[in-house]
Structure 1
Amino acid sequence: MPPIAVIDFETTGMAPAQGSRATEVAIVLIEGERVVDRFSSLMKTGAWIPPFITQLTGITNAMVAAAPPADEVMREAARFVGNAPMVAHNAAFDSKFWQSELHHAGLEATQPHAARPFACTVLLSRRVYPDAPSHKLGNLIDHLGLPRAGRAHRALADAEMAAALLARLQHDLGQRFGLGWPGHALLMQLQRCPRPAVERLLRQHALAVAPAG
């Protein structure tokens, strides 16, 4: 089965449109339930990190000042992802920083996956685990009994946990609906599906992929 790239950014703020920049990126490649590779790096953009962000992430201005330049990191990150489909927890956030940092690095035109759609484990978890008390990453990890990967709000730990959540989602969907191993295309369909129609969508998909006879 083809790998999926699960990505997480730590940043100086909430939105590139407001001037926020990335401070750290991590990508975990998974094939089914198995992690096959990892990439992570702090990145130097020249942007100032506010104290409340340092308190949240532990990432300081001194740490990013000593980090590789952001354009070098993004070149490596783009090579690492390659053609793998992408996933993030709260993908509306991470996908914007992915596109923005590729743009800042002058890579947007050379990277056809700059605007590639992301599957979102927040949206998916709301459909697969509607009774979870919270759909924040750490709370879902605890709710499902998955191991914590390290300090929250550091990119590699969050990407590891998002990858574990994705694999659990795919496993549970496959078991519940007889889907085999749900691929990225089905996950994209599912996250756009209204909640009342989720079961119908998945049962229709299971029938479509069932062997004839």
Structure 2
Amino acid sequence: MRADSLIILDFETTGLSPDMGDRAIEVGAVRLENGDVVDKFQALMNPGFRVSSFIADYTGITNLMLADALSCEEVMHDFADFIQGSNLIAHNASFDKRFLDAELARIGRDYDGEFSCSLLVSRRVFQDAHSHKLGELVNYTRVESGGEFHRALYDAEMTAKVWLAMLEDIGERYGAFDLSFEQIKTLAKTPKKSVNTLLMNWANI
């Protein structure tokens, strides 16, 4: 599977840990095929309890907005259908993967793609960036933006733009084009000092 053909997703949640009872309150995702956005998914979801004022301020998602939203279970059935057959990316993927796994486990669903992290990849590709937070990378890569961070679809869209900028940067600097998802997973785990050698080797294959 190509590294530019996958789904990039983002969750907004009631807190940091599903193990502590936190739930998803919004999911957004962008489907890329050969570097083009071909589909999107966005839905608020009602967790069954009120969100804190901190989370409401942080995300802009209020209890009033969630009152008429579908339940987590209903939304996640639809989202499970959406992601089948695709590899998955998120910025700080360990967070989003925890919530994806926890919400799908509640409804007895799973996914068949593999997961990787755009944050880890960005630390290797853009080693001179001041920060690897999503907002900072949007500025660093000068991708077009104009929305509210901490809303799921917007964050997924911005992650997709940064993701494609990283693949373009690798291609321009090393001549390594059409990377596979497996290569990206390898890159995400490669020590920073070894990244240059790795990418030069891929360019010569």
Shift of residue 106, structure 1, vs aligned partner: 2.5
- Post-superposition shift, 1:160? 0.2
Given the alignment of the two structures, is residue 72 of structure 1 paired with residue 86 of structure 2, yes or no?
no
1:172 paired with 2:169, answer yes
Structure 1 position 112, deviation (Å): 4.2
Aligned counterpart in structure 2 of residue 62 of structure 1, from 61, 64, 76:
64
Identity of aligned residues (%): 40
In the TM superposition, residue 83 of structure 1 has moved relative to its aligned partner by 0.9
Letter in 1 for 2:86: A
Helix, strand or coil at the partner of 1:134: coil
Q: Tell me how many residue pairs correspond in the alignment.
A: 203
Q: Is the 8 A contact 2:58 2:150 kept in 1?
A: yes
Where relative contact order (Cα < 8 A, 6+ residues apart) is larger, the structure is 2
- In 2: Cα distance, 1:36 partner to 1:206 partner: 28
How high is the TM-score relative to the length of structure 1? 0.91
The answer to whether the 8 Å contact 2:12/2:24 transfers is yes
- Runs (5+) with no aligned partner, structure 1: 209-213
| 1:41 corresponds to | 43
Q: Tell me by how many angstroms 1:184 deviates.
A: 1.4
Q: 2:127 aligns with which of 130, 135, 143?
A: 130
What's the CA shift string for 1:59-78, capped at 9, x where partnerless? 01121121011111111111
Partner of 1:54, secondary structure, is helix
Structure 2 gap ranges (5+): none
Structure-2 residue corresponding to 1:90 = 92
| 1:164-197 Cα distance to aligned partner (Å, 9 max, x none) | 1111111111221111122211110000000011
Q: Deviations over 1:10-55 (max 9, x none)?
A: 0000111111100000110012331111000001121331111100
The answer to whether the 8 Å contact 1:149/1:161 transfers is no
Equivalent residue for 2:184, pick from 172, 182, 187: 187
Partner of 1:202: 199
